[in-house]
Chain A
Amino acid sequence: MDATSAEIEIEVDGRVVRAPADATVAAVLLSLGVGAFRRSVRGEARLPLCGMGTCQECRVTIDGVAHRRACLTPVRAGMRVSTDG
């Protein structure tokens, strides 16, 4: 993450973190070193692959809504994200 953007706070897996206001959820989670955005059907840890909304590997729960694509979702102040990490 660079330091030139305005920052906001979001909650990731119960932890409040600061994030650049113009980043996507996927970028923020990667920067935090989240170990798994989701678990595959047989339990493997998965991170984003395509980064552009196609592969569905970056699905996380955002504000209670499951299966949101983190790579297409901009962060918003107060957003609550939960991963399978």
Chain B
Amino acid sequence: MDEGRRTVMTAPVAAAPSTADACAGATPSAAGRVLRAEIAVVGAGPAGIAAASRAAEAGRDVVVLDASPRPGGQIWRHRRREELPAQARAWLERFDRSGARLIAGAQVVDAWRAAEFRLLAEVDGERLEVAADRVILATGARELFLPFPGWTLPNVFGVGGAQALVKSGASFAGKRVVVAGSGPLLLAVGATLASRGARVVVVAEQAGRGALARFGVALLGSPGRILQAARLRSQLGGARYAVGCWVTRADGDGVVREVTLTDGRRSWTEPCDVLCTGYGLVPNTELAEMLGCVVDGGRVRVDEWQRTSVAGVYCAGEPTGIAGVDAALAEGEIAGLHAAGKIVPAGDVRRLFAIRRREHRVARAMERAFAPRAELRDLPRDDTILCRCEDVTRGMVDPAWSFRQAKLYTRIGMGPCQARVCGPACEFLFGWRGQTTRAPTVPAAVGTIAGGPEDTAGVA
């Protein structure tokens, strides 16, 4: 266990949380808590860890809020640090030493500007308010899911979802697994699952050979990645890497039993126990939007110092555009250094700016190569669910509507996930945009939202 080595603060836990009255958030002890810091960082993935470390090393009082039980975000999710690559261990150790205070299990549900910035979080059902002079948003990304018949069946997981579950202790050992969708994550997850005993039968990449060849050309500047891709392919065990293939439906009797794949000319079925499917990543921009930051094309707009359009609010990593772990680390360092208000060493600036530039260039090429093909728009049938929270099907909506109209008529996107799953899917399917973010950004106890200590004006 690695927690012993760092300061992990959590909200006080009820002594015997065994009855319904543990329905928390309303306890007086928690309701009055306002934690003050010079800099608040939201997210403890690579960007947040780098930002917090650099700012705390510069002498700032830094608080980091993260929804997961342990720091690392998605890419460095772990149960034991020995599982992690050297780069991740080094950063987590640096973070430990930096003096930044991590509050694990803290889900930020609202953010606003009062005399200073305020973040409202729920920790173990209890309310926690953080006041800070500056905020660094390192909220990461989520997976893009595209609906097809059968995608709501049990044992259909996200690609990153399956990896996150395995890293949290789940096992697919002995299971027959199909990995399908798009992006470099497919190979990485296929290799992870195979190395942990799953029988990965096929990894189906929807992008065509031509698109991937162009991606290969774009990668010539970074041969390390080509080697990594080759290594991952060799780790897939007996699995086939099927390029230009996608899942058209999944079928089963209560759980997924088989998937139908196509290459656009012929279709075939593949028996499986588990289907992992995902089409890349979507930046998490909700908190930035709530703080009033400009978001362009789904990305938080930042300047060269990672400053958003709102003074005092920085953003680093995937919310500024999906570009991977090295870009996230560089952006986090830049944001942390700048937010700390110290002179940034010129050598650091050159190095970090160069990494950021290179990684975003590669990422743009990848985005083009792995863009979802038009055929995927035709997969949902009338009875295919689009919105899993409210069970709204394709047949219930009219593509001629706006997303807002569709919400009013059908409740699509109005469930607890707040359109984080169906919103990006509907944008791809119908071109619907203009989702709005509202507090609480995720469902929270009434006591968390209403139990404000002094000024709750911004919460309503």
B420 touches A71 (CB 8 A): no
- Knowing A46-B154, A64-B23, A67-B443 touch, does A72 contact B161 (C-beta < 8 A)? no
B165 within 8 A of A: yes
B169 touches A27 (CB 8 A): yes
B24 touches A48 (CB 8 A): no
Interface set, chain B 270-294, CB cutoff 8 A to A: none
The residue in chain A whose Cβ has the minimal distance to the Cβ of B79 is A22
Closest beta carbon of chain A to B391's beta carbon, Å: 5
B185 within 8 A of A: no
A51 touches B22 (CB 8 A): no
B161 touches A51 (CB 8 A): yes
- Knowing A22-B79, A41-B391, A49-B388 touch, does A27 contact B105 (C-beta < 8 A)? no
A54 touches B142 (CB 8 A): yes
| Chain B residue contacts of A55, Cβ below 8 A | 145, 158, 161, 388, 417, 420-421
- In the bound assembly, the distance between CA atoms of A59 and B443 in angstroms comes to 11
| Chain A residue contacts of B19, Cβ below 8 A | 63-64
- Knowing A31-B171, A51-B160 touch, does A26 contact B67 (C-beta < 8 A)? no
Q: In the complex, which range does the number of interface residues on chain A fall in?
A: 35 or more
A48 touches B69 (CB 8 A): no
Interface membership of chain A positions 2-39, coded 1 if the CB is closer than 8 angstroms to chain B and 0 otherwise:
10010000000000000010111011101100011000
- Knowing A31-B170, A72-B69 touch, does A53 contact B165 (C-beta < 8 A)? no
- In the bound assembly, the distance between CA atoms of A26 and B167 in angstroms comes to 11
B152 within 8 A of A: yes
B161 touches A52 (CB 8 A): yes
| Chain B residue contacts of A24, Cβ below 8 A | 69, 168-169
| Chain A residue contacts of B1, Cβ below 8 A | 22
| Chain A residue contacts of B232, Cβ below 8 A | none
| Chain A residue contacts of B442, Cβ below 8 A | 53, 56
Closest beta carbon of chain A to B20's beta carbon, Å: 4
Q: List 17 A-B contacts (CB under 8 A).
A: A5-B79, A5-B169, A20-B79, A24-B169, A26-B168, A28-B169, A40-B152, A40-B388, A49-B388, A50-B161, A51-B162, A54-B421, A56-B442, A56-B443, A65-B24, A67-B416, A72-B67
B17 within 8 A of A: yes
| Chain A residue contacts of B105, Cβ below 8 A | 72, 74
B74 touches A52 (CB 8 A): yes
The residue in chain B whose Cβ has the minimal distance to the Cβ of A4 is B80
Interface membership of chain B positions 66-84, coded 1 if the CB is closer than 8 angstroms to chain A and 0 otherwise:
0111000010000110000
- In the bound assembly, the distance between CA atoms of A52 and B155 in angstroms comes to 16
The residue in chain B whose Cβ has the minimal distance to the Cβ of A34 is B154
- In the bound assembly, the distance between CA atoms of A43 and B146 in angstroms comes to 22
| Chain A residue contacts of B163, Cβ below 8 A | 51
Closest beta carbon of chain B to A48's beta carbon, Å: 6
A residues at B contact (CB < 8 Å): 1-2, 5, 20, 22-24, 26-28, 30-31, 35-36, 40-42, 44-57, 59, 63-65, 67, 71-74, 78, 80
- In the bound assembly, the distance between CA atoms of A16 and B340 in angstroms comes to 49
The residue in chain B whose Cβ has the minimal distance to the Cβ of A19 is B169
Closest beta carbon of chain A to B420's beta carbon, Å: 5
Closest beta carbon of chain B to A80's beta carbon, Å: 7
The residue in chain A whose Cβ has the minimal distance to the Cβ of B124 is A73
| Chain A residue contacts of B152, Cβ below 8 A | 40, 44, 46
Interface set, chain B 66-119, CB cutoff 8 A to A: 67-69, 74, 79-80, 105, 107
| Chain A residue contacts of B420, Cβ below 8 A | 54-55
- Knowing A24-B169, A47-B154, A64-B19 touch, does A52 contact B164 (C-beta < 8 A)? yes
Closest beta carbon of chain B to A50's beta carbon, Å: 5
- In the bound assembly, the distance between CA atoms of A51 and B274 in angstroms comes to 14
B318 within 8 A of A: no
The residue in chain A whose Cβ has the minimal distance to the Cβ of B19 is A64
Interface set, chain B 375-418, CB cutoff 8 A to A: 388-391, 415-417
- In the bound assembly, the distance between CA atoms of A50 and B281 in angstroms comes to 11
B160 touches A64 (CB 8 A): no
- In the bound assembly, the distance between CA atoms of A48 and B71 in angstroms comes to 21
- Knowing A49-B158, A50-B142, A72-B67 touch, does A35 contact B254 (C-beta < 8 A)? yes
B164 touches A51 (CB 8 A): yes
B389 touches A51 (CB 8 A): no
B388 touches A46 (CB 8 A): yes
The residue in chain B whose Cβ has the minimal distance to the Cβ of A74 is B69
B125 within 8 A of A: yes
A35 touches B154 (CB 8 A): yes
Interface set, chain B 20-76, CB cutoff 8 A to A: 20-24, 67-69, 74
Interface membership of chain B positions 121-142, coded 1 if the CB is closer than 8 angstroms to chain A and 0 otherwise:
0000100000000000000001
